[in-house]
Chains A and B, each alone.
Chain A
Amino acid sequence: MAARIWIFSVAVALFLSFSSGHDLQIVNAERRIDLSSHIVKAFLTLKVENIGKDPAADMLLAFTPTQIKHLSMVQAMAITGKKKKKTYLPLDVKPTEQPDAPNDTGYFLVSFATPLTPGETVTLEVLYILTHSLEPFPSEIAQSESQLVYYRDSAVILSPYHIKQQTTFFKTPSARVESFTSVDPANRAGKEIKYGPYEDRAPYSYAPVIVHFENNSPFAVVEELVREIEISHWGSLQITENYRLTHGGARHKGVFSRVDYQSRRSISGSSSFNALLAVLPPKVNSVYYRDNIGNISTSHLRTGFKKSELEFEPRYPLFGGWRATFIIGYRVPLEDYLFEAPDGRRYLNFTFGCPLVETIVNKLTIKVVLPEGSKDPSAVLPFTVNQDLQVKYSYLDIVGRTVVVLQKDNVVPTHNVPFQVYYTFKPIYMLAEPFMLVSAFFFVFVASLAYVHIDLNIVKK
């Protein structure tokens, strides 16, 4: 069966390898796939050699259509030096399209730092992260059952290039593995399943495997997160985060018994979670945690010099398919995040992504509310996001505040990197609202003075 697929793929690949620009081959590939949480992380170490005649400036990474759909991010780095003197050089990775991609294969283009001359080799480290790739099976479980999931992938690396030697490791969270597809040579030792080494696989080789294993890590999925960062030049940054959280694992079935949950915690409700951790900036203050019906009183805040940690629980433990919404808000001092650029513009430097650890965000919207009167906003991010501008009216605004809206789907903790929003602002605007208040009071008093002193009677008394 597998052999047939290979033959087919070889045929396709032979055809394709001519159409792609360069003649590259992968001398050695190692892939480690971490399945211990619901975020699947794959580390690829590729040794690439140019066997063509022209220098190659870039190479392709191939993904199946399902992977493309769930792919959260791809990073690549070139390794130079050996052992202890290793240096990592981040490379530019961007999605690309190939005209004759077989079976809707998706591609990412990795640009080398310097073009690869013929015969030269380079070692690349590629990290890609997949979300929603663990399929619970059985898809509905009762309270006391633990959660089993499928992970589908290929035993060999999908690549448009010839791979001389390759190995793949799957790391499962526990030693409980129900089954895994055997593609010789494949074996399992404890938490690790090893596929390979396989020799000389043609381009676009594919050998589907299914790993069925236990995963009780919290499948915390934020369906939608809206973070609003409001800049006040009076000295603080107010952040409000609206979460819509769900348990993305196997759906809960039937009874929820509090007796079982409370008395036999270790076995009952092992797939559920009720504690979450948010990593907030240091010097955070006025933290609140509530939902639209009031405070939620189960949270602890630890502040530190490098980061603050907010440990909190939703109102009820989350079982598969259960949802909860909540709002976290906090304030940080302005001077740590707002700077003046050399050209006189100001810029906000803040962290992208979601503060919750080990969560997937299906849809993240970050709204940076600039102070009233600021102009020319522009956002700088290390990856592509949808950008938009809105206007928001807040306390006593007249012209409204410019809001820079950044929107990105499928966000994982790796996206928690700084981003910048540049804008110009004249400090005189800060005085507008105090002046309005003062003048309002002034007019009230003037009006009452006038009322007292002016005789409104038509008839003289």
Chain B
Amino acid sequence: MAAVESLPPGTPSAMRNAFGTVLSALILVLIGVLAFSIRLFSVIKYESVIHEFDPYFNYRVTQFLSKNGIYEFWNWFDDRTWYPLGRVIGGTVYPGLTLTAGTIWWVLNAINIPLSVETVCVFTAPVFSAFASWATYLLTKEVKGSGAGLAAAALLAMVPSYISRSVAGSYDNEAVAIFALIFTFYLYIKTLNTGSLFYATLNAIAYFYMVCSWGGYTFIINLIPMHVLLCIVTGRYSPRLYIAYAPLVVLGTLLAALVPVVGFNAVLTSEHFASFLVFIIIHVVALVYYIKGILTPKMFKVAVTLVVSIGLVVCLIVVAVLVALVASSPTGGWSGRSLSLLDPTYASKYIPIIASVSEHQPPTWPSYFMDINVLAFLVPAGIIACFSPLSDASSFVVLYIVMSVYFSGVMVRLMLVLAPAACIMSGIALSQAFDVFTGSIKYQLSSKSKDDAEDNTSTKNAPKDDASSGKADKGEEVAKERLSKKGKKKEREPAEKPSVKSKIVKKKALVLPLEASIVALLLLIMLGAFYVIHCVWAAAEAYSAPSIVLTSQSHDGLHVFDDFRESYAWLSHNTDVDDKVASWWDYGYQTTAMANRTVIVDNNTWNNTHIATVGTAMSSPEKAAWEIFNSLDVKYVLVVFGGVIGYPSDDINKFLWMVRIGGGEFPHIKEADYLRDGQYRIDSEATPTMLNCLMYKLCYYRFVETDGKGYDRVRRTEIGKKHFKLTHFEEVFTSHHWMVRIYKLKPQKNRIRGRVKKLKQKTSSGVSSKSVKKNPWM
């Protein structure tokens, strides 16, 4: 549908054009099918199920939405999480994804297609990646024509970075947000190219959708002002730019403020200030241009001095106000995540909870190769192609790629923002290269048939030599060189153009020798093939595991480790519906969604103290931990333990973060107590604090009885303390492969008369002063 609509509506009279339109529509449909189906590996290899952590929350919200309707959803106060605080879901969640899936579900059910909410959620991401590739086509078409558009769309359909966030089942905000991002950029460029207020309005609406969907909308509202500023600075101001920008800021900000989670942040936080500043600047500039238009040059000079001085004053006032506002808030008006973007070391210094998330770490070089593969080599060529000639649109994509490269370098998660930019650039590069090569082949063939007397001119020999020398190199390099060469050629071209016969010279300048072109074409195709193979591999092997069910291939067949769901199912069927389950925050979303039990903390890490309380409990000795948990009304404690089967991301490996986060709030927990000579270990060398903390005990309780030695397969060592008893907790469930262990808090013991006094004396002297700090809930 979208493909059909995306085509230019006007019917070209020429048969050739009509054929091209139909062909590109067909290609687009196929690209959509490709984008959708390459993401189904997870369903085929595993099952149709929601993946990982956050998607479970989104799924749960969608279930609520589909059951109770939109108004209940806005007012939803969730008491199943962050016990005893609860969470206002309607006001703290980006509703775009859930509303989208909820609407799809509602429409399907209205026409009697009874798909379950889960099915709709699982397939939302693949559907939207098809939309995203079509949006990429539109965007790139606005920049460099439909050939580049098709190439970019095909590249985006299977770029691994995007696949990693949008396989079937990965029901996360990014799934729809990337589409919204690209589409917003497309509408911005479209407005910039046409100057149509219609598109400007659509742009604001697309921006609104993006705001609804993902916190990454701040990228848009900073990137577009930067581009506007760039255009103004480089003297590219035009009324079209004004149309593209001013309505977006006004309408976009108003619309963004409608989203409860953003609200007044749309005008209050520093992330949005750049847009307002540029908004003022563009008005000043517009005024200058207007006055310039109506005044004679002489009068204008007078006016300039006047306006500039007034403008400066206004700007200064605004800047002063902004500075005052920013300075008044402790973080300078920036949220923690944004700050860690601007200062990559910020999170690890001040907010361990952000730093503890693996996707907030800076990426490594191999991850670039893994996630965007050959695009990394094509991007420079694309950038060069964008400079010849530089238009408003192409300057925008150049700015986009530069910014996203920086952001992706800070946080591996933002590789996702880089991926579309890389695809657009590479699409442009590929398409230009193909243009040149096929063009020269065509020219060579046609000229050969005519006559080859005047063909071998000196203009052509030079590039031929260059090309043949580069041919020996590897495929990527050849392509790159060729592309950059072509870029240079194109740059040179305008200089040559005005000289003599305009068309022939242009053609000749771009002509390469036949053999070289054919070889280069083949190499380019090989490069593309390599990319496709890599993408399919990444989609099938690297990114399709749902992570709630693990499989391992061994000599005696496939092993399935379904322990998470085993224990969540156990919790949901065999505990009381109001029981509270404490676990590290990673498992909060899954517990609420799959086990339907109240949790203390979950993956929405909004309350650091609360998480620190749980971290403290996990790192405290049994009795203290029991007291903390008991005061939180916890009935069950869930730990994830990989020592039996060798599952590395278990709680023992995450334990240092618990200590760090707990210690950040409650200073009696010291990281050094858990480390022996700076090393984290659980064997006989481990510190007594470590061996006596709750996490160690809950993980290794009766572990030694499995093999007699207590050999931990993740840490590859025998555990330090093997035989011990639990006094305040009792094991109530351990999953088949020991990955999840659930303990119940033992009820409080009856007080015996003589001992009460003793206890009282003890507590009055020792604990009372500490307990205030130890546990805020007591």
Contacts and interface: CB of A to CB of B under 8 A. Distances in A.
Interface of A: 254-259, 262-263, 290-291, 293-297, 315-316, 321-325, 393-398, 444, 448, 451-453
Nearest to B706: A259
* Interface hub of B113, B560, B733, B736 (most chain A Cβ within 10 A): B736
A391 to B, nearest CB: 12
B112 A294 contact: no
B738 A258 contact: yes
Interface stretch (B198-206, B215-223, B563-571): B563-571
B574 A322 contact: yes
Interface in B727-766: 730-736, 738
Interface of B: 1, 4, 9, 11, 47, 49, 111-114, 548-549, 560, 562, 565-570, 573-574, 594, 702, 705-706, 730-736, 738
A451 B706 CA distance: 72
A293 B568 contact: yes
Contact of A297 (B548, B560, B735): B560
A295 to B, nearest CB: 4
Contacts of B114: 393-395
Given A255-B732, A259-B734, 13 more contacts: A255-B730, A256-B731, A256-B734, A257-B734, A259-B702, A293-B49, A294-B49, A294-B565, A316-B566, A316-B570, A321-B574, A393-B114, A448-B4
A394 B114 CA distance: 6
Contacts of B549: 294-295, 297
A293 B572 CA distance: 11
A259 B566 CA distance: 17
Nearest to B569: A315
A452 B47 contact: no
Nearest to A321: B574
Contacts of A316: 566-567, 569-570, 733, 735-736
B705 A295 contact: no
B635 to A, nearest CB: 15
Contacts of A255: 730-732
Contact of A324 (B1, B47, B569): B569
B112 A396 contact: yes
B118 to A, nearest CB: 8
Contacts of A297: 549, 560, 562
A323 B732 contact: no
Contacts of A323: 573-574
B594 A293 contact: yes
Contacts of A324: 569, 573
Contacts of B573: 322-325
Contacts of A257: 702, 731, 734
A215 B560 CA distance: 33
Q: Which 5 A-B pairs have the closest CB atoms?
A: A258-B734, A294-B49, A323-B573, A297-B560, A315-B566
A315 B569 CA distance: 7
Nearest to B559: A297
A291 B731 contact: no
26 contacts: A255-B731, A256-B731, A256-B733, A256-B734, A258-B731, A258-B735, A259-B705, A259-B706, A262-B706, A263-B706, A293-B565, A293-B568, A293-B594, A294-B548, A295-B47, A295-B549, A297-B560, A316-B733, A321-B574, A322-B570, A325-B573, A394-B112, A396-B111, A398-B112, A448-B4, A453-B11
Given A255-B730, A393-B112, A395-B114, A296 B562 contact: yes
Given A257-B734, A322-B573, A397 B9 contact: no
Nearest to A297: B560
Nearest to A323: B573
Given A293-B569, A322-B573, A395 B112 contact: yes
Given A257-B702, A294-B549, A452-B11, A315 B112 contact: no
Contacts of A263: 705-706
Nearest to A397: B112
B364 to A, nearest CB: 33
B637 to A, nearest CB: 14
Nearest to B4: A448
A93 B574 CA distance: 41
A397 B734 CA distance: 46
Given A315-B570, A322-B574, A393-B114, A256 B565 contact: no
B66 to A, nearest CB: 15
